């Protein structure tokens, strides 16, 4: 009888423990949280319309653009305004990046030496656009606690470069919403631990069938009054008819803005 009771107790304890074991197995790692947040803006393909406003202490200017993407490795951007920049095209294909300048009818490959230069005069660099998925592949990821940000319960995740990784940042800290996995804030530090810039996302809304931030600000922490604001005006995912042949140097000259 005692033996049967022990078996019964063991079965009950196992039944109670199984949900907990399953929950532990399905809990996301810090890297998986960052990956899923990164994937929110990706689909098999995507199309978006954006407005970028470059703000400086004594002036500001706005650039309008249309963007197409395929997976993680193919991006193309067409500048639609202002008139002096209209028709410029930027292409990222794998590990290479090009710029087509219609004023001189030339396509220029952007070399590694120009990766840290400002993109279109903004607080984003060519490296920011070129190595977007670097935050997944070139860094370690660790939970550093939780923090409420603008009413959202967020994971605080610290990213540190992997040994031998060819990256710019000495450390990145991300605040990612636990429920929706939206990145609300990112801090970028140099190799000496100095905060260089902060990215803040807001105006969370449904776009392209997903909950996404429609307003983002990249704020310089070393140049007072400098920031770049990006507003997403239109977003689509899994756009039909986009394949690798769309993301070619030849297509840069042929590309035209899409009518909405």
CATH of the domain at 126: 2.50.20.10
pLDDT band at 89 (very low <50, low <70, confident <90, very high): very high
**Domain contains 9:** no
Q: Which two tokens stand for residue 49?
A: 């319309």
**Domain contains 110:** no
**Domain contains 211:** yes
- Residue-range definition of the domain harbouring residue 167: 30-66+118-240
The pLDDT value given to residue 130: 62
Q: Give SS3 for 176.
A: strand
How far apart are alpha carbons 98 and 76 in whole angstroms?
10
Q: Give SS3 for 76.
A: strand
**Domain contains 22:** no
**Domain contains 6:** no
Maximum CA extent, the chain:
92
**Domain contains 221:** yes
Residues 255 and 247: beta-carbon distance below 8 Å: no
**Domain contains 225:** yes
Domain count, the chain: 1
DSSP codes, 6-65: HHHHHHHHHHHHHHHHHHHHHSPPHHHHHHHHHHTT--SEEEEEEEEEEEETTEEEEEEE
pLDDT per position as a tens digit, 184-213: 999 999 999 999 999 999 999 999 999 999
């Amino acid at each position: 009888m005692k033996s049967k009771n022990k078996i019964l107790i063991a079965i009950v304890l196992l039944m109670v423990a199984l949900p907990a074991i399953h929950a532990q197995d399905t809990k996301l790692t810090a890297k998986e949280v960052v990956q899923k947040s990164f994937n929110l803006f990706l689909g098999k393909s995507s199309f978006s319309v954006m407005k970028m406003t470059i703000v400086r202490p004594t002036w500001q200017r706005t650039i309008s653009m249309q963007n197409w993407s395929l997976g993680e490795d193919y991006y193309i951007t067409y500048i639609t305004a202002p008139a002096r920049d209209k028709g410029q095209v930027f292409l990222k294909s794998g590990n290479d990046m090009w710029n087509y300048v219609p004023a001189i009818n030339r396509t220029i490959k952007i070399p590694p030496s120009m990766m840290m230069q400002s993109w279109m005069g903004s607080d984003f660099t060519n490296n920011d656009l070129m190595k977007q998925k670097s935050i997944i592949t070139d860094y370690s990821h660790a939970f550093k606690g939780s923090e409420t940000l603008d009413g959202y319960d967020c994971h605080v995740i610290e990213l540190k470069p992997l040994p031998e990784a060819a990256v710019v940042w000495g450390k990145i800290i991300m605040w990612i919403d636990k429920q929706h996995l939206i990145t609300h804030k990112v801090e970028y530090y140099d190799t000496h631990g100095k905060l260089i810039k902060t990215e803040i996302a807001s105006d969370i809304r449904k776009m392209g069938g997903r909950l996404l931030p429609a307003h983002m600000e990249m704020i310089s922490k070393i140049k007072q009054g400098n920031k770049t604001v990006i507003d997403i005006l239109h977003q689509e995912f899994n756009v039909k008819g986009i394949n690798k042949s769309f993301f070619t140097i030849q297509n840069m000259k042929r590309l035209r803005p899409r009518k909405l």
